[in-house]
Structure 1
Amino acid sequence: MNLDGFTEYLRIKRGLSEKTSEAYISDINQFLKFSKGDINNSAIDCYIAECLKTKKGRTINRFISALSNLSEWMKLIGEKCDFGSPDRLKTDRRLPKFISCDRLQAIFDFPVKTKIDYRNMLIFLFIYSTGVRVSEAADIKLSNLHMEEEFVLIAGKGNKERAVPFSRNIKSFLDEYIKIHRPAILKSAHSDHLFTGRNGQLTRQMIWLIIRSVGSKLGIENVYPHLLRHSYATALILGGANLRIVEALLGHKNLETTTIYTHIPGTFLVDEFKRCHPREK
């Protein structure tokens, strides 16, 4: 089955990210390999039963979402569609991991010896300080930065644009990077993007590796971009930010997604109780 048109449907018609589209295509291809090209309810049920032996519920639910999109695309192009989308599996909501603000303060002691060190430090600090997704960070262009107003315009999922503020510290780091280090990295190459290598825009995979490398040098193992995003959201919640504000800053489609960040460490709850309860004052 030729899925070229399906890829275009996911990216343009549905407005899904490149990463999500690739995952859906991969899921469908794995299913087609299992079913030897057959797409019907019986083959789908057998495949899900097989997946339940080794795959997590979230992975299976992603396949079900991919299948639903495939069905809609086939109907759109007039293809015969003899299958329906099974019900999604119920899965436990995982509490997101996060790094405490105290541990992340180590970024200010990051050894900056070269222009690449400076760029890498800034990428780590920028993602933690804005909570942007790694794909969003990779796509930021210089024209998206509003330095005087101290915010960046982010094109999020579904190409929905949002304004994300950054601190004066970040502004200072950005200013030095853009004026001094970025031109030195690019040399004669040209790019409209903020974060670059010598050949132009950094990919999300490159940024992922940079985050891992910086974290390792700071003594924080197994750091990845989304962990910094979780840490950003958690810091906002602990600081008393309204859930609606956090929802807007993260670019979530609905508040339910944001409520997962209402997990609060027990020590914080104790401290807040002592601070707020009249019998403790």
Structure 2
Amino acid sequence: MSAPVDVTELAEPLAAPLSAFLVHLASEKRHSPRTCDSYQRDLNRFAAWLSGRDMTDWASITGHDLRRYVAWLSQQGLNGRSIARHLSAIRRFYQYLLREKRVRDNPALDIRAPKSGRRLPKVADVDQLNHLLDANPDDPLEVRDLSMFELMYSCGLRLSELAGLDLESIDARNGEARVLGKGGKERILPVGRKALQALSAWLAVRPGLAPESEPALFVSQRGGRLSNRSIQARLSRWGMAKGAEQRLHPHMLRHSFASHLLESSGDLRAVQELLGHADIATTQIYTHLDFQHLARVYDQSHPRARRRGGPEAEDGQ
């Protein structure tokens, strides 16, 4: 078994070691054809870049050369994640060359890709969420579903935190939930009025599904603890049945909780505590969401902020 190698346009000193490495991946390491193709594509690109600059000896490549290559990849429009993949392939290739005693060091070891811009989480609109959560459940399972989604949005829970709740986790009298977060850290969260009402409705029908010995707050039709995957599927189903404008998933409710709370209060530290983030830098992403919202409001509402392509722009006003 050998990997397909297309290095015909490369100088022999570049092509031969590269071809041997790709065969090594396929025959010795037993990598899949897809993985071998990925290595081949990324390394051929690097080799072609070297060849175009009259660099034809793998042993002479330096960290400075690799930094220039990273800068070139960035100019070509590759993001940090794609550049990191290229560097990983080069690093692995040089490990092989070291083993074969073709080079004396690995120039890619200390080279890092530029950081990618962090993707902003998707957030549901307040009015849309109100519409979905105000919908009436049609059966006991939907009573359970509404209770789960109200609680997740009310408390900003992670999916695993919601699935891990027990009956004793809820203190309805004081309106609190005791949640076990990442790293086994426990936090006490306030539960909103709507969520408490939904929980009360669920607890009234739960005995019809769960045996008395079952500690889980949310159970399946068979009476056992509801799995993460089942919660995801039920939320997606709820959104489709109740007319959601976008696909709903559990983390969207958590993101919406954080963004809507920050938008109203401006208290980043409080949101950090409620979400259970160890580092406030993790919470700060929601300040970007808040700014985006404010920017849209400004753009749509301020008399001196005309949107491009609008009728005012077309009329020259």
TM-score (ref. length: structure 1): 0.65
- CA–CA distance in 1 between the matches of 2:121 and 2:114? 20
Unaligned runs of 5+ in 1: 1-31, 39-45, 65-83, 275-281
User: Which of 136, 140, 148 pairs up with 1:111?
Assistant: 136
Which runs of 5 or more residues in structure 2 are unaligned?
1-24, 32-38, 46-77, 89-108, 304-317
What is the match of residue 219 of structure 1?
Answer: 243
Aligned to 2:55: none
TM-superposed deviation, 1:145 = 1.1
Equivalent of residue 193 in structure 1, options 202, 206, 216: 216
Q: Are the aligned partners of 1:191 and 1:200 in contact in 2 as well (CA < 8 Å)?
A: yes
CA displacement 1:19-73 (0-9 Å, x = unmatched): xxxxxxxxxxxxx9998289xxxxxxx69x68x9x99829x79xx9xxxxxxxxx
Partner of 1:176: 201
1:209 aligns with 2:233: yes
Query: Which has the higher Rg, Structure 1 or Structure 2?
Result: 2
Contact 2:170 2:178 in 1 (8 A): yes
- Count of residue pairs brought into register by the alignment: 214
Q: Which has the higher contact order (CA 8 A, sep 6+)?
A: 1
Is 1:107–1:125's contact at 8 Å kept on the other side of the alignment? no
Native 8 Å contact 2:80 2:113 kept in 1: no
Q: 1:270 to 1:139 in 2, by over 3 A?
A: same
CA RMSD of superposed structures (Å) = 3.8
- Amino acid across the alignment from 2:214: S
Distance 1:89 1:205 in 2: 34
Residues 89 and 34 (structure 1), Cα distance of their counterparts in 2 relative to 1, 3 Å cut: farther
Conserved? CA contact 1:107–1:218, under 8 Å:
yes
Q: How do 1:32-51 and structure 2 match up within 5 A?
A: 36=29
2:74: which partner in 1? none
Distance 1:95 1:191, change over 3 A: same
Q: 1:173 to 1:33 in 2, by over 3 A?
A: farther
Q: How far has the Cα of 1:199 moved from its partner?
A: 3.1
Q: In the alignment, residue 168 of structure 1 is paired with which amino acid?
A: R
Q: Which residue of 2 aligns with 1:12?
A: none
Residue deviations 1:162-221, cap 9 Å, x none? 11111122212212311x2111122x4742111111231001111011111111112113
| Cα distance change on mapping 1:247 and 1:273 into 2, 3 Å | farther
Moved more, 188-197 or 229-238: 188-197
Q: In 2, distance between residues paired with 1:87 and 1:167?
A: 45
- Superposed CA offset, 1:255-280 (max 9, x none): 10101001221245579999xxxxxx
8 A Cα contact 1:116 1:185, kept in partner = no
Corresponding position: 1:163 with 2:179: no
Map of 1:146 onto structure 2: 171
- Taking a change above 3 Å as real, the CA distance of residues 175 and 35 of structure 1, as seen in their structure-2 partners, is farther
Equivalent residue of 1:235, what SS?
Answer: helix
| Mapped contact 2:258–2:271 kept (Cα < 8 A) | yes
CA distance 1:111–1:248, shift in 2 (3 Å): same
Provide the rounded CA distance (Å) in 1 between the counterparts of 2:214 and 2:178. Answer: 18
Distance 1:33 1:195, change over 3 A: farther
Taking the aligned partners of 1:247 and 1:272, their CA distance within structure 2 comes to: 31
Letter in 1 for 2:253: L
Instruction: Indicate yes or no: 2:273 matched with 1:248.
Output: yes
TM-score by structure 2 length? 0.58
Cα distance in 1 for partners of 2:202, 2:123 equals 27
TM-superposed CA distance for 1:241, in Å, is 3.8
Take 2:197 and 2:27, find their aligned partners in 1: how far apart are those partners?
Answer: 54
The residue matched to 1:182 in structure 2 has which SS?
helix
Q: 1:242 to 1:190 in 2, by over 3 A?
A: same
Matched residues in 1 for 2:266 and 2:172: separation?
Answer: 24
Within a 5 Å distance, the mapping from 1:116-135 to structure 2 comes to 116-135=141-160
Aligned counterparts of 1:210 and 1:122: Cα–Cα separation in 2 = 12
